[in-house]
A and B are shown apart, each in its own frame.
Chain A
Amino acid sequence: MKWTVLGLLAFVALLASVMLGPAAVPLAQLAHSDIVWNLRAPRAVLAFLVGGSLGVAGAALQALVRNPLADPFLLGLSGGAGLGAVLAIALHVSGPWALPIAAFAGALAALGLVYRLGLIGGAALDPRILLLGGVAIGAFAAAITTAIVSLANAAELRNTFLWLWGGLSGASWDAVLLVALYAPIPLAVLLAAARPLDLLALGEEPARYLGADVEAVKRRVYLAASLLTAAAVAVSGVIGFVGLVVPHIARLTWGHRHRALLPAAFLGGGALLAFADTLARTVVAPRELPVGVVTALIGVPVFAFLLRRWTIA
Protein backbone atom coordinates (compact mmCIF):
# COMPACT_ATOMS: atom_id res chain seq x y z
CA MET A 1 0.00 0.00 0.00
CA LYS A 2 2.59 2.57 1.05
CA TRP A 3 4.81 1.48 -1.83
CA THR A 4 1.91 1.96 -4.23
CA VAL A 5 1.30 5.46 -2.91
CA LEU A 6 4.98 6.33 -3.17
CA GLY A 7 5.23 4.91 -6.68
CA LEU A 8 2.16 6.86 -7.69
CA LEU A 9 3.59 10.03 -6.15
CA ALA A 10 6.82 9.57 -8.11
CA PHE A 11 4.88 8.99 -11.31
CA VAL A 12 2.71 12.07 -10.80
CA ALA A 13 5.77 14.21 -10.02
CA LEU A 14 7.47 13.09 -13.22
CA LEU A 15 4.32 13.53 -15.26
CA ALA A 16 3.68 17.00 -13.86
CA SER A 17 7.18 18.17 -14.60
CA VAL A 18 6.83 16.99 -18.20
CA MET A 19 3.37 18.53 -18.66
CA LEU A 20 3.77 21.85 -16.88
CA GLY A 21 5.88 24.76 -17.99
CA PRO A 22 5.82 28.34 -19.25
CA ALA A 23 5.02 27.14 -22.80
CA ALA A 24 1.63 25.52 -23.05
CA VAL A 25 1.87 22.20 -24.82
CA PRO A 26 -1.47 20.57 -25.61
CA LEU A 27 -1.87 17.14 -24.13
CA ALA A 28 -2.28 15.51 -27.52
CA GLN A 29 1.07 16.81 -28.74
CA LEU A 30 2.97 15.98 -25.58
CA ALA A 31 4.81 13.06 -27.12
CA HIS A 32 5.80 14.96 -30.27
CA SER A 33 6.78 18.28 -28.75
CA ASP A 34 10.43 19.36 -28.97
CA ILE A 35 10.06 21.36 -25.79
CA VAL A 36 8.90 18.30 -23.95
CA TRP A 37 11.36 15.90 -25.48
CA ASN A 38 14.51 18.05 -25.47
CA LEU A 39 13.94 20.27 -22.44
CA ARG A 40 11.36 19.03 -19.98
CA ALA A 41 11.83 15.27 -20.18
CA PRO A 42 15.61 15.16 -19.61
CA ARG A 43 15.20 17.76 -16.90
CA ALA A 44 12.50 15.76 -15.14
CA VAL A 45 14.52 12.55 -15.30
CA LEU A 46 17.68 14.29 -14.13
CA ALA A 47 15.82 15.92 -11.24
CA PHE A 48 14.46 12.51 -10.28
CA LEU A 49 17.86 10.80 -10.39
CA VAL A 50 19.58 13.59 -8.48
CA GLY A 51 16.84 13.83 -5.86
CA GLY A 52 16.83 10.06 -5.41
CA SER A 53 20.61 9.96 -5.05
CA LEU A 54 20.52 12.72 -2.44
CA GLY A 55 17.77 10.93 -0.53
CA VAL A 56 19.76 7.69 -0.38
CA ALA A 57 23.05 9.44 0.41
CA GLY A 58 21.35 11.35 3.23
CA ALA A 59 19.74 8.27 4.76
CA ALA A 60 23.03 6.34 4.70
CA LEU A 61 25.10 9.21 6.09
CA GLN A 62 22.66 9.81 8.93
CA ALA A 63 23.21 6.23 10.06
CA LEU A 64 26.97 6.50 9.54
CA VAL A 65 27.59 9.69 11.51
CA ARG A 66 24.98 8.61 14.05
CA ASN A 67 23.15 11.88 13.70
CA PRO A 68 19.61 11.74 12.38
CA LEU A 69 19.82 15.40 11.38
CA ALA A 70 22.82 15.10 9.06
CA ASP A 71 22.62 16.32 5.47
CA PRO A 72 24.90 15.00 2.70
CA PHE A 73 26.21 18.52 2.13
CA LEU A 74 27.36 18.79 5.75
CA LEU A 75 30.43 16.80 4.83
CA GLY A 76 32.14 19.68 3.01
CA LEU A 77 31.33 18.60 -0.54
CA SER A 78 29.34 21.69 -1.48
CA GLY A 79 32.18 23.94 -0.38
CA GLY A 80 34.65 21.95 -2.43
CA ALA A 81 32.38 21.90 -5.46
CA GLY A 82 31.84 25.66 -5.25
CA LEU A 83 35.55 26.30 -5.02
CA GLY A 84 36.18 24.04 -8.01
CA ALA A 85 33.59 25.82 -10.14
CA VAL A 86 34.75 29.32 -9.20
CA LEU A 87 38.37 28.39 -9.81
CA ALA A 88 37.48 27.09 -13.26
CA ILE A 89 35.83 30.39 -14.12
CA ALA A 90 38.56 32.52 -12.59
CA LEU A 91 41.14 30.60 -14.61
CA HIS A 92 39.03 30.94 -17.78
CA VAL A 93 38.64 27.23 -18.34
CA SER A 94 35.91 26.92 -20.93
CA GLY A 95 33.87 24.21 -22.59
CA PRO A 96 30.35 22.88 -22.07
CA TRP A 97 31.39 20.49 -19.29
CA ALA A 98 33.98 22.73 -17.65
CA LEU A 99 31.81 23.74 -14.70
CA PRO A 100 30.47 20.29 -13.82
CA ILE A 101 33.90 18.71 -14.13
CA ALA A 102 35.54 21.44 -12.04
CA ALA A 103 32.79 21.19 -9.42
CA PHE A 104 33.10 17.41 -9.34
CA ALA A 105 36.87 17.67 -8.95
CA GLY A 106 36.46 20.21 -6.14
CA ALA A 107 33.96 17.96 -4.37
CA LEU A 108 36.33 14.98 -4.74
CA ALA A 109 39.20 17.02 -3.29
CA ALA A 110 37.04 17.97 -0.29
CA LEU A 111 35.95 14.35 0.06
CA GLY A 112 39.56 13.20 0.11
CA LEU A 113 40.57 15.77 2.72
CA VAL A 114 37.63 15.02 5.00
CA TYR A 115 38.24 11.28 4.64
CA ARG A 116 41.88 11.73 5.57
CA LEU A 117 40.90 13.82 8.60
CA GLY A 118 38.41 11.16 9.65
CA LEU A 119 41.02 8.39 9.63
CA ILE A 120 42.38 8.60 13.14
CA GLY A 121 45.75 6.95 13.48
CA GLY A 122 45.48 5.77 9.89
CA ALA A 123 43.20 2.86 10.74
CA ALA A 124 39.73 3.51 12.12
CA LEU A 125 37.32 5.95 10.51
CA ASP A 126 35.73 8.15 13.15
CA PRO A 127 32.30 9.34 11.98
CA ARG A 128 32.19 12.22 14.48
CA ILE A 129 35.44 13.57 13.05
CA LEU A 130 34.04 13.11 9.54
CA LEU A 131 31.19 15.40 10.48
CA LEU A 132 33.36 18.04 12.15
CA GLY A 133 36.04 17.78 9.47
CA GLY A 134 33.38 18.17 6.79
CA VAL A 135 32.09 21.36 8.36
CA ALA A 136 35.64 22.70 8.70
CA ILE A 137 36.74 21.85 5.15
CA GLY A 138 33.47 23.22 3.79
CA ALA A 139 33.93 26.52 5.63
CA PHE A 140 37.53 26.75 4.48
CA ALA A 141 36.62 26.16 0.84
CA ALA A 142 33.78 28.67 1.09
CA ALA A 143 36.18 31.27 2.49
CA ILE A 144 38.58 30.81 -0.43
CA THR A 145 35.67 30.89 -2.85
CA THR A 146 34.45 34.17 -1.39
CA ALA A 147 37.96 35.60 -1.58
CA ILE A 148 38.26 34.74 -5.27
CA VAL A 149 34.82 36.11 -6.03
CA SER A 150 35.43 39.38 -4.21
CA LEU A 151 38.78 39.90 -5.92
CA ALA A 152 37.64 38.93 -9.39
CA ASN A 153 34.36 40.82 -9.33
CA ALA A 154 33.21 39.64 -12.74
CA ALA A 155 29.59 39.14 -13.73
CA GLU A 156 30.44 35.59 -14.72
CA LEU A 157 31.17 34.75 -11.13
CA ARG A 158 27.70 35.78 -10.09
CA ASN A 159 26.39 33.22 -12.53
CA THR A 160 28.60 30.60 -10.96
CA PHE A 161 27.05 31.31 -7.64
CA LEU A 162 23.58 31.04 -9.11
CA TRP A 163 24.54 27.79 -10.80
CA LEU A 164 26.05 26.49 -7.61
CA TRP A 165 22.91 27.09 -5.63
CA GLY A 166 20.92 24.65 -7.54
CA GLY A 167 19.80 24.61 -11.05
CA LEU A 168 18.73 21.87 -13.36
CA SER A 169 18.48 24.27 -16.29
CA GLY A 170 21.58 22.74 -17.84
CA ALA A 171 19.86 19.36 -18.04
CA SER A 172 20.34 17.36 -21.21
CA TRP A 173 20.04 13.73 -22.21
CA ASP A 174 23.84 13.59 -22.06
CA ALA A 175 23.76 14.58 -18.41
CA VAL A 176 20.98 12.07 -17.75
CA LEU A 177 22.99 9.33 -19.42
CA LEU A 178 26.06 10.22 -17.40
CA VAL A 179 24.19 10.11 -14.10
CA ALA A 180 22.27 6.99 -15.08
CA LEU A 181 25.55 5.19 -15.74
CA TYR A 182 27.38 6.55 -12.70
CA ALA A 183 24.84 6.54 -9.88
CA PRO A 184 23.86 2.83 -9.86
CA ILE A 185 27.32 1.80 -8.64
CA PRO A 186 27.36 3.81 -5.38
CA LEU A 187 23.63 3.13 -4.99
CA ALA A 188 24.25 -0.61 -5.15
CA VAL A 189 27.13 -0.31 -2.69
CA LEU A 190 24.84 1.48 -0.22
CA LEU A 191 22.01 -1.00 -0.69
CA ALA A 192 24.45 -3.85 -0.07
CA ALA A 193 25.40 -2.12 3.20
CA ALA A 194 21.77 -1.90 4.32
CA ARG A 195 21.94 -4.59 7.01
CA PRO A 196 25.32 -3.53 8.42
CA LEU A 197 23.87 0.01 8.64
CA ASP A 198 21.00 -1.36 10.74
CA LEU A 199 23.58 -2.91 13.06
CA LEU A 200 25.69 0.24 13.17
CA ALA A 201 22.74 2.08 14.72
CA LEU A 202 23.49 0.11 17.92
CA GLY A 203 27.08 1.37 18.04
CA GLU A 204 30.29 0.01 16.59
CA GLU A 205 31.09 -2.65 19.15
CA PRO A 206 27.64 -4.28 19.20
CA ALA A 207 27.58 -4.10 15.40
CA ARG A 208 30.89 -5.93 15.20
CA TYR A 209 29.65 -8.69 17.50
CA LEU A 210 26.52 -9.07 15.35
CA GLY A 211 28.70 -9.79 12.35
CA ALA A 212 29.31 -6.41 10.69
CA ASP A 213 32.74 -5.71 9.29
CA VAL A 214 32.52 -2.25 10.84
CA GLU A 215 35.59 -0.49 9.45
CA ALA A 216 34.97 -1.67 5.90
CA VAL A 217 31.30 -0.70 6.12
CA LYS A 218 32.06 2.81 7.38
CA ARG A 219 34.56 3.44 4.59
CA ARG A 220 32.31 2.04 1.91
CA VAL A 221 29.28 3.99 3.07
CA TYR A 222 31.16 7.26 3.41
CA LEU A 223 32.78 6.96 0.00
CA ALA A 224 29.66 5.78 -1.84
CA ALA A 225 27.38 8.41 -0.30
CA SER A 226 29.93 11.15 -0.94
CA LEU A 227 30.49 10.08 -4.55
CA LEU A 228 26.73 10.22 -5.09
CA THR A 229 26.58 13.68 -3.58
CA ALA A 230 29.59 14.88 -5.59
CA ALA A 231 27.92 13.79 -8.84
CA ALA A 232 24.67 15.44 -7.80
CA VAL A 233 26.40 18.74 -7.07
CA ALA A 234 28.29 18.56 -10.37
CA VAL A 235 25.17 18.25 -12.52
CA SER A 236 22.76 20.37 -10.52
CA GLY A 237 24.60 22.41 -7.90
CA VAL A 238 23.92 22.36 -4.19
CA ILE A 239 20.36 21.28 -3.53
CA GLY A 240 19.82 21.34 0.18
CA PHE A 241 17.28 19.60 2.40
CA VAL A 242 16.35 16.78 0.02
CA GLY A 243 18.98 14.58 1.65
CA LEU A 244 17.82 15.63 5.08
CA VAL A 245 14.06 15.77 4.96
CA VAL A 246 13.35 12.85 2.64
CA PRO A 247 15.11 10.18 4.74
CA HIS A 248 13.24 11.54 7.74
CA ILE A 249 9.83 11.28 6.21
CA ALA A 250 10.77 7.84 4.89
CA ARG A 251 11.78 6.77 8.40
CA LEU A 252 8.42 7.85 9.77
CA THR A 253 6.65 5.57 7.30
CA TRP A 254 9.09 2.73 6.61
CA GLY A 255 10.92 2.52 9.92
CA HIS A 256 14.65 2.27 10.29
CA ARG A 257 15.51 -0.86 8.38
CA HIS A 258 17.68 0.31 5.55
CA ARG A 259 16.62 -2.40 3.11
CA ALA A 260 13.26 -0.70 2.84
CA LEU A 261 14.37 2.78 3.85
CA LEU A 262 16.97 3.29 1.10
CA PRO A 263 14.66 2.44 -1.84
CA ALA A 264 11.91 4.55 -0.26
CA ALA A 265 14.34 7.46 0.13
CA PHE A 266 15.31 7.11 -3.52
CA LEU A 267 11.73 7.26 -4.80
CA GLY A 268 10.79 9.98 -2.31
CA GLY A 269 13.83 12.11 -3.07
CA GLY A 270 13.25 11.75 -6.79
CA ALA A 271 9.60 12.72 -6.49
CA LEU A 272 10.36 15.70 -4.24
CA LEU A 273 13.06 17.14 -6.49
CA ALA A 274 11.06 16.62 -9.68
CA PHE A 275 8.16 18.40 -8.01
CA ALA A 276 10.34 21.21 -6.61
CA ASP A 277 11.93 21.76 -10.00
CA THR A 278 8.50 22.03 -11.62
CA LEU A 279 7.63 24.73 -9.10
CA ALA A 280 10.96 26.47 -9.68
CA ARG A 281 10.26 26.65 -13.42
CA THR A 282 6.65 27.70 -13.23
CA VAL A 283 5.89 29.97 -10.27
CA VAL A 284 7.78 33.02 -11.57
CA ALA A 285 7.71 32.06 -15.29
CA PRO A 286 9.21 33.04 -17.64
CA ARG A 287 11.98 33.55 -15.09
CA GLU A 288 13.19 30.70 -12.94
CA LEU A 289 13.98 30.24 -9.27
CA PRO A 290 17.02 28.17 -8.32
CA VAL A 291 15.59 24.81 -7.32
CA GLY A 292 17.72 24.88 -4.16
CA VAL A 293 15.63 27.86 -3.06
CA VAL A 294 12.42 25.89 -3.54
CA THR A 295 13.70 22.81 -1.68
CA ALA A 296 14.85 25.08 1.14
CA LEU A 297 11.49 26.85 1.26
CA ILE A 298 9.73 23.49 1.49
CA GLY A 299 12.44 21.80 3.51
CA VAL A 300 13.17 24.29 6.27
CA PRO A 301 9.65 24.33 7.73
CA VAL A 302 9.49 20.55 7.52
CA PHE A 303 12.90 20.35 9.11
CA ALA A 304 11.91 22.74 11.90
CA PHE A 305 8.84 20.61 12.56
CA LEU A 306 10.92 17.41 12.65
CA LEU A 307 13.49 19.06 14.90
CA ARG A 308 10.81 19.95 17.41
CA ARG A 309 9.34 16.51 17.23
CA TRP A 310 12.75 14.93 17.67
CA THR A 311 13.73 17.02 20.67
CA ILE A 312 10.37 16.56 22.39
CA ALA A 313 10.18 12.79 21.82
Chain B
Amino acid sequence: MLRLDGVSYRYPGASRDALTDVSLSVGLGEFHAVLGPNGSGKTTLVRIALGALPPLVGSADIDRRPASMWPRQDLAKLVGVVPQREDNLFPQRVRETVLLGRYPHLSLWGRERPEDHAAVDRALAACDARHLADRWVWTLSGGEYQRVRVARALAQEPKLLVLDEPGISLDLKHEMELFELVRGLVERQGLGVLMITHDLNLAARFADSLLLLEGGRPIASGAPAEVLTQQTVETVFSWPVAMQTIEGRPQMIPLRKPKESQA
Protein backbone atom coordinates (compact mmCIF):
# COMPACT_ATOMS: atom_id res chain seq x y z
CA MET B 1 0.00 0.00 0.00
CA LEU B 2 2.67 2.46 1.10
CA ARG B 3 6.21 1.78 0.02
CA LEU B 4 9.51 3.59 0.46
CA ASP B 5 12.43 2.18 -1.47
CA GLY B 6 15.97 3.38 -0.81
CA VAL B 7 14.84 6.91 0.01
CA SER B 8 17.37 9.66 0.70
CA TYR B 9 16.61 13.31 1.27
CA ARG B 10 18.54 16.44 2.07
CA TYR B 11 16.85 19.77 2.78
CA PRO B 12 18.00 22.62 0.53
CA GLY B 13 21.09 24.23 2.09
CA ALA B 14 21.56 21.49 4.71
CA SER B 15 25.03 20.00 5.15
CA ARG B 16 23.92 16.42 5.74
CA ASP B 17 21.14 14.10 4.64
CA ALA B 18 17.94 14.14 6.67
CA LEU B 19 17.31 10.58 5.46
CA THR B 20 19.73 8.05 4.00
CA ASP B 21 18.66 4.92 2.16
CA VAL B 22 15.44 4.20 4.07
CA SER B 23 13.05 1.48 2.95
CA LEU B 24 9.67 0.66 4.41
CA SER B 25 6.55 -1.12 3.28
CA VAL B 26 3.16 -0.86 4.98
CA GLY B 27 0.41 -3.21 3.86
CA LEU B 28 -3.26 -3.41 4.81
CA GLY B 29 -3.86 -4.82 8.28
CA GLU B 30 -0.31 -4.01 9.36
CA PHE B 31 0.82 -1.66 12.14
CA HIS B 32 4.24 -0.14 11.55
CA ALA B 33 5.98 2.18 13.97
CA VAL B 34 8.93 4.42 13.17
CA LEU B 35 11.15 5.15 16.18
CA GLY B 36 14.17 7.27 16.82
CA PRO B 37 15.57 10.11 18.92
CA ASN B 38 14.71 13.72 18.20
CA GLY B 39 16.04 14.83 14.84
CA SER B 40 16.45 11.30 13.52
CA GLY B 41 14.37 12.01 10.41
CA LYS B 42 11.00 10.61 11.49
CA THR B 43 8.92 13.59 10.38
CA THR B 44 10.87 13.93 7.11
CA LEU B 45 10.06 10.28 6.46
CA VAL B 46 6.35 10.94 6.93
CA ARG B 47 6.45 13.98 4.66
CA ILE B 48 8.11 11.95 1.91
CA ALA B 49 5.79 8.98 2.41
CA LEU B 50 2.79 11.32 2.05
CA GLY B 51 4.11 13.09 -1.01
CA ALA B 52 4.62 16.46 0.67
CA LEU B 53 8.32 16.19 -0.24
CA PRO B 54 9.65 14.29 -3.26
CA PRO B 55 12.59 11.97 -2.44
CA LEU B 56 15.93 13.00 -3.94
CA VAL B 57 17.00 9.38 -4.30
CA GLY B 58 14.79 6.29 -4.28
CA SER B 59 11.03 6.13 -4.59
CA ALA B 60 8.01 6.71 -2.38
CA ASP B 61 4.84 5.10 -3.70
CA ILE B 62 1.30 4.85 -2.45
CA ASP B 63 -0.77 2.20 -4.17
CA ARG B 64 1.99 1.81 -6.78
CA ARG B 65 1.94 5.47 -7.76
CA PRO B 66 4.60 8.04 -6.69
CA ALA B 67 3.23 9.76 -3.60
CA SER B 68 4.06 13.28 -4.79
CA MET B 69 2.18 12.66 -8.08
CA TRP B 70 -1.16 11.99 -6.40
CA PRO B 71 -3.78 14.74 -6.63
CA ARG B 72 -4.21 15.68 -2.97
CA GLN B 73 -7.96 15.14 -3.01
CA ASP B 74 -7.64 11.59 -4.35
CA LEU B 75 -4.89 10.77 -1.90
CA ALA B 76 -7.00 12.04 1.00
CA LYS B 77 -9.60 9.37 0.19
CA LEU B 78 -6.93 6.71 0.58
CA VAL B 79 -4.74 8.01 3.41
CA GLY B 80 -5.93 9.65 6.62
CA VAL B 81 -3.37 11.62 8.58
CA VAL B 82 -3.24 12.77 12.19
CA PRO B 83 -0.53 15.43 11.99
CA GLN B 84 1.66 16.27 14.93
CA ARG B 85 0.56 19.89 15.08
CA GLU B 86 -2.42 21.87 13.95
CA ASP B 87 -4.24 24.86 15.28
CA ASN B 88 -7.80 25.87 14.77
CA LEU B 89 -7.87 29.48 13.64
CA PHE B 90 -11.57 29.62 14.44
CA PRO B 91 -13.55 27.94 17.20
CA GLN B 92 -15.20 24.77 15.95
CA ARG B 93 -17.45 22.03 17.26
CA VAL B 94 -16.34 18.40 17.26
CA ARG B 95 -18.86 17.33 14.64
CA GLU B 96 -17.76 20.17 12.34
CA THR B 97 -14.10 19.29 12.61
CA VAL B 98 -14.77 15.60 11.95
CA LEU B 99 -16.89 16.60 8.96
CA LEU B 100 -13.75 18.17 7.45
CA GLY B 101 -12.65 14.57 6.91
CA ARG B 102 -15.48 14.20 4.39
CA TYR B 103 -14.27 17.10 2.22
CA PRO B 104 -12.21 14.92 -0.12
CA HIS B 105 -15.40 12.99 -0.93
CA LEU B 106 -17.51 16.05 -1.78
CA SER B 107 -17.88 17.53 -5.23
CA LEU B 108 -16.95 21.16 -5.80
CA TRP B 109 -20.44 22.63 -5.50
CA GLY B 110 -22.24 19.71 -3.84
CA ARG B 111 -23.60 19.72 -0.32
CA GLU B 112 -22.84 17.11 2.32
CA ARG B 113 -24.95 14.02 1.70
CA PRO B 114 -26.61 11.76 4.30
CA GLU B 115 -23.83 9.23 3.75
CA ASP B 116 -21.28 11.87 4.79
CA HIS B 117 -23.05 12.45 8.08
CA ALA B 118 -23.32 8.68 8.52
CA ALA B 119 -19.56 8.36 7.98
CA VAL B 120 -18.98 11.08 10.60
CA ASP B 121 -21.18 9.19 13.07
CA ARG B 122 -19.37 5.92 12.40
CA ALA B 123 -15.97 7.58 12.84
CA LEU B 124 -17.05 9.19 16.11
CA ALA B 125 -18.41 5.86 17.36
CA ALA B 126 -15.24 3.99 16.38
CA CYS B 127 -13.22 6.44 18.48
CA ASP B 128 -15.66 6.37 21.38
CA ALA B 129 -16.27 10.08 20.86
CA ARG B 130 -19.95 10.21 19.96
CA HIS B 131 -20.82 11.93 23.23
CA LEU B 132 -18.36 14.70 22.35
CA ALA B 133 -20.03 15.59 19.04
CA ASP B 134 -21.55 18.88 20.18
CA ARG B 135 -18.66 20.06 22.33
CA TRP B 136 -16.39 22.92 21.27
CA VAL B 137 -13.02 21.54 20.25
CA TRP B 138 -11.19 23.90 22.59
CA THR B 139 -12.99 22.48 25.63
CA LEU B 140 -11.66 18.94 25.04
CA SER B 141 -8.95 17.33 27.13
CA GLY B 142 -5.77 16.23 25.39
CA GLY B 143 -6.94 12.63 25.14
CA GLU B 144 -10.38 13.54 23.83
CA TYR B 145 -8.82 15.89 21.29
CA GLN B 146 -6.56 13.15 19.92
CA ARG B 147 -9.52 10.77 19.63
CA VAL B 148 -11.44 13.42 17.70
CA ARG B 149 -8.51 13.94 15.35
CA VAL B 150 -8.31 10.20 14.75
CA ALA B 151 -12.07 10.26 14.10
CA ARG B 152 -11.57 13.00 11.51
CA ALA B 153 -8.97 10.86 9.74
CA LEU B 154 -11.36 7.87 9.87
CA ALA B 155 -14.17 9.97 8.40
CA GLN B 156 -11.99 10.13 5.29
CA GLU B 157 -12.66 6.37 5.06
CA PRO B 158 -9.02 5.70 4.30
CA LYS B 159 -7.23 2.43 3.79
CA LEU B 160 -4.14 3.78 5.49
CA LEU B 161 -3.76 5.80 8.66
CA VAL B 162 -0.65 7.86 9.40
CA LEU B 163 -0.11 9.28 12.89
CA ASP B 164 2.75 11.60 13.83
CA GLU B 165 3.54 11.44 17.57
CA PRO B 166 -0.11 10.98 18.61
CA GLY B 167 0.71 10.05 22.21
CA ILE B 168 2.65 13.18 23.01
CA SER B 169 1.37 15.05 26.10
CA LEU B 170 -1.15 12.33 26.95
CA ASP B 171 -1.26 10.68 30.34
CA LEU B 172 -0.93 6.93 30.82
CA LYS B 173 -4.59 6.02 30.48
CA HIS B 174 -5.24 8.18 27.45
CA GLU B 175 -2.08 7.09 25.74
CA MET B 176 -2.95 3.42 26.27
CA GLU B 177 -6.48 4.02 25.07
CA LEU B 178 -5.20 5.69 21.93
CA PHE B 179 -2.88 2.78 21.13
CA GLU B 180 -5.68 0.29 21.84
CA LEU B 181 -7.93 2.27 19.51
CA VAL B 182 -5.37 2.24 16.69
CA ARG B 183 -4.63 -1.46 17.22
CA GLY B 184 -8.36 -2.18 17.11
CA LEU B 185 -8.70 -0.33 13.80
CA VAL B 186 -5.92 -2.45 12.35
CA GLU B 187 -7.56 -5.66 13.48
CA ARG B 188 -11.24 -4.87 12.99
CA GLN B 189 -11.14 -2.66 9.89
CA GLY B 190 -7.95 -3.96 8.30
CA LEU B 191 -6.37 -0.51 8.12
CA GLY B 192 -2.69 -0.16 7.44
CA VAL B 193 -1.08 2.07 10.07
CA LEU B 194 2.16 4.02 10.01
CA MET B 195 2.89 5.67 13.34
CA ILE B 196 5.74 7.95 14.29
CA THR B 197 6.47 7.78 17.99
CA HIS B 198 9.33 7.95 20.39
CA ASP B 199 7.62 5.71 22.91
CA LEU B 200 9.64 2.53 22.39
CA ASN B 201 7.67 0.46 24.87
CA LEU B 202 4.21 1.19 23.51
CA ALA B 203 5.42 0.74 19.95
CA ALA B 204 6.88 -2.63 20.90
CA ARG B 205 3.62 -3.66 22.57
CA PHE B 206 1.25 -2.66 19.80
CA ALA B 207 3.07 -2.58 16.46
CA ASP B 208 3.77 -5.53 14.18
CA SER B 209 6.97 -4.06 12.87
CA LEU B 210 9.39 -1.34 13.95
CA LEU B 211 11.83 0.83 12.05
CA LEU B 212 14.52 2.45 14.17
CA LEU B 213 16.18 5.57 12.76
CA GLU B 214 19.24 7.44 13.92
CA GLY B 215 20.57 10.53 12.14
CA GLY B 216 18.39 9.67 9.15
CA ARG B 217 19.83 6.15 8.81
CA PRO B 218 17.87 2.95 9.36
CA ILE B 219 19.55 1.14 12.27
CA ALA B 220 17.23 -1.82 12.53
CA SER B 221 13.85 -2.92 11.26
CA GLY B 222 11.55 -5.87 11.69
CA ALA B 223 9.63 -7.50 14.54
CA PRO B 224 9.91 -5.70 17.91
CA ALA B 225 12.02 -8.47 19.49
CA GLU B 226 14.57 -8.20 16.69
CA VAL B 227 14.80 -4.41 16.71
CA LEU B 228 14.73 -3.57 20.40
CA THR B 229 17.80 -5.26 21.77
CA GLN B 230 19.74 -3.77 24.63
CA GLN B 231 22.72 -3.06 22.44
CA THR B 232 20.79 -1.27 19.70
CA VAL B 233 18.75 0.84 22.10
CA GLU B 234 21.81 1.89 24.11
CA THR B 235 23.70 2.83 20.95
CA VAL B 236 20.90 4.81 19.37
CA PHE B 237 19.71 6.66 22.46
CA SER B 238 23.15 6.94 24.15
CA TRP B 239 21.82 5.79 27.50
CA PRO B 240 22.16 2.55 29.49
CA VAL B 241 18.99 0.44 29.56
CA ALA B 242 17.79 -2.91 30.77
CA MET B 243 15.44 -5.03 28.67
CA GLN B 244 12.58 -7.20 29.86
CA THR B 245 9.87 -9.14 28.10
CA ILE B 246 6.22 -8.50 28.91
CA GLU B 247 3.39 -10.26 27.06
CA GLY B 248 5.97 -11.51 24.59
CA ARG B 249 7.18 -8.04 23.66
CA PRO B 250 10.50 -6.41 24.58
CA GLN B 251 10.23 -3.55 27.06
CA MET B 252 12.97 -1.06 27.81
CA ILE B 253 13.80 0.35 31.25
CA PRO B 254 16.25 3.25 31.35
CA LEU B 255 18.89 2.85 34.06
CA ARG B 256 20.46 5.48 36.32
CA LYS B 257 24.02 6.17 35.35
CA PRO B 258 26.60 4.77 37.79
CA LYS B 259 27.67 7.42 40.35
CA GLU B 260 31.29 7.78 39.21
CA SER B 261 30.36 8.57 35.59
CA GLN B 262 28.05 11.42 36.61
CA ALA B 263 30.95 13.53 37.86
Chain A residues at the B interface, C-beta cutoff of 8 Å: 63, 66, 68, 192, 195, 198-199, 201-203, 205-206, 208-214, 251, 255-257
Task: Compute the total of residue contacts between A and B using a CB distance below 8 Å.
Answer: 68
Other A-B pairs, 7, CB within 8 Å; known A203-B85, A256-B91: A195-B106, A206-B81, A209-B76, A209-B79, A210-B76, A211-B72, A211-B75
Knowing A206-B86, A210-B76, A213-B71, say if A256 contacts B104 (CB, 8 Å). no
The reply to whether B90 and A256 contact each other, CB–CB distance below 8 Å, is yes
Nearest CB of chain B from residue A128's CB, rounded to whole Å: 13
Which 5 A-B pairs have CB atoms at the shortest separation, nearest pair first? A211-B76, A211-B104, A209-B81, A256-B90, A211-B73
| B9-35 at interface with A (beta carbon < 8 Å) | none
| Across-interface contacts of A202 in B (CB, < 8 A) | 86-89, 100
In the bound assembly, the distance between CA atoms of A66 and B88 in angstroms comes to 10
Knowing A198-B103, A211-B104, say if A251 contacts B71 (CB, 8 Å). no
**B172 on the A face (CB < 8 A):** no
Nearest CB of chain A from residue B103's CB, rounded to whole Å: 5
**B83 on the A face (CB < 8 A):** yes
Q: Which of B75, B77, B85, B103 has the most chain A CB within a 10 Å cutoff?
A: B103
Nearest CB of chain A from residue B178's CB, rounded to whole Å: 18
| Across-interface contacts of A255 in B (CB, < 8 A) | 96
Nearest CB of chain B from residue A218's CB, rounded to whole Å: 13
| B132-170 at interface with A (beta carbon < 8 Å) | 152, 156
Nearest CB of chain A from residue B245's CB, rounded to whole Å: 37
The reply to whether B92 and A209 contact each other, CB–CB distance below 8 Å, is no
Chain B residues at the A interface, C-beta cutoff of 8 Å: 50, 52, 71-77, 79-81, 83, 85-92, 96, 100-101, 103-104, 106, 108-109, 152, 156
In the bound assembly, the distance between CA atoms of A203 and B81 in angstroms comes to 13
The reply to whether A206 and B83 contact each other, CB–CB distance below 8 Å, is yes
| Across-interface contacts of B96 in A (CB, < 8 A) | 255, 257
The reply to whether B52 and A201 contact each other, CB–CB distance below 8 Å, is no
Nearest CB of chain B from residue A221's CB, rounded to whole Å: 14
In the bound assembly, the distance between CA atoms of A214 and B90 in angstroms comes to 18
| Across-interface contacts of B92 in A (CB, < 8 A) | 256
| Across-interface contacts of B79 in A (CB, < 8 A) | 209
The reply to whether B90 and A205 contact each other, CB–CB distance below 8 Å, is no
Q: Which of A199, A203, A210 has the most chain B CB within a 10 Å cutoff?
A: A210
| Across-interface contacts of B72 in A (CB, < 8 A) | 208, 211-214
The reply to whether A205 and B88 contact each other, CB–CB distance below 8 Å, is no
In the bound assembly, the distance between CA atoms of A203 and B71 in angstroms comes to 19
| Across-interface contacts of B103 in A (CB, < 8 A) | 195, 198-199, 210-212
The reply to whether B85 and A201 contact each other, CB–CB distance below 8 Å, is no
| Across-interface contacts of B52 in A (CB, < 8 A) | 205, 208
In the bound assembly, the distance between CA atoms of A208 and B75 in angstroms comes to 10
Nearest CB of chain A from residue B191's CB, rounded to whole Å: 16
The reply to whether A210 and B106 contact each other, CB–CB distance below 8 Å, is no
The reply to whether B108 and A192 contact each other, CB–CB distance below 8 Å, is yes
Q: Can you name 14 A-B residue pairings with CB atoms under 8 Å? A: A68-B89, A192-B108, A195-B106, A198-B100, A199-B103, A206-B83, A206-B86, A210-B101, A210-B156, A211-B73, A211-B75, A211-B76, A211-B77, A256-B92
